[in-house]
Amino acid sequence: MSETNRSGLGRVTELDRKLAATEIEHARSAGSYDGQEAARRLARVRLATSHAALRRAVDGVSGEAAPALLEAAPGFAARLFLLVGGVNVLIWLFIGAIGGQWDPLWLIWVLLGGGVLVAGVWGVRDWDRRLRATAGDAS
């Protein structure tokens, strides 16, 4: 399976399914697992509707995957923070150049607050991943 869509967004194509099936067949021929396990994984590949579900089928991981939005949220939050932070820096530079008032605390609070929010989004996503990993280990 291609690694191009790690976030789990987008449709699974027949090529993705064929690549996943090839990975499973290769692992079976290498002796990683028997024919029954390979058949179970191939059935999950045929039923996969997202890239995350396809990856779980190849890896043999059971359980529920994280929502695609939760996986994509940190990247979106970081890009939004960079955009808003860049606009704020430009505004701060214009105010300083035009009015001569260089208030560094305003810029620090804007950038620090946004950075804390982005770190929180990353933390929630990683926390969810850890919870799902421990739940998968317990089953």
Cβ burial of 80 (10 Å; 0-12, 13-18, 19+) is middle
- 49-53, 72-76, 98-102, 125-129: which is most confident: 72-76
Q: Is the pLDDT of residue 37 over 70?
A: yes
User: Pick the residue with more confidence: 74 or 107?
Assistant: 74
Q: At 124, is the pLDDT very low, low, confident or very high (cuts 50, 70, 90)?
A: very high
Cβ burial of 19 (10 Å; 0-12, 13-18, 19+) is middle
Task: Give me the pLDDT at residue 54, please.
Answer: 82
CB 17 within 8 A of CB 48: yes
DSSP structure string for 23-70: HHHHHHHTTSS-HHHHHHHHHHHHH--SHHHHHHHHHT--SPPPPHHH
Task: Give me the pLDDT at residue 138, please.
Answer: 53
Q: What is the mean predicted confidence (pLDDT) over 93-109?
A: 88
Task: Give me the pLDDT at residue 103, please.
Answer: 83
What residues contact 116, with CB distance under 8 A and at least 6 apart? none
CB 19 within 8 A of CB 5: no
Q: What is the mean predicted confidence (pLDDT) over 101-126?
A: 90
CB 1 within 8 A of CB 50: no
Q: What is the mean predicted confidence (pLDDT) over 40-68?
A: 78
Prediction pTM value: 0.54
Q: What is the mean predicted confidence (pLDDT) over 7-34?
A: 83
Q: Is the pLDDT of residue 7 over 70?
A: no
Q: At 2, is the pLDDT very low, low, confident or very high (cuts 50, 70, 90)?
A: very low
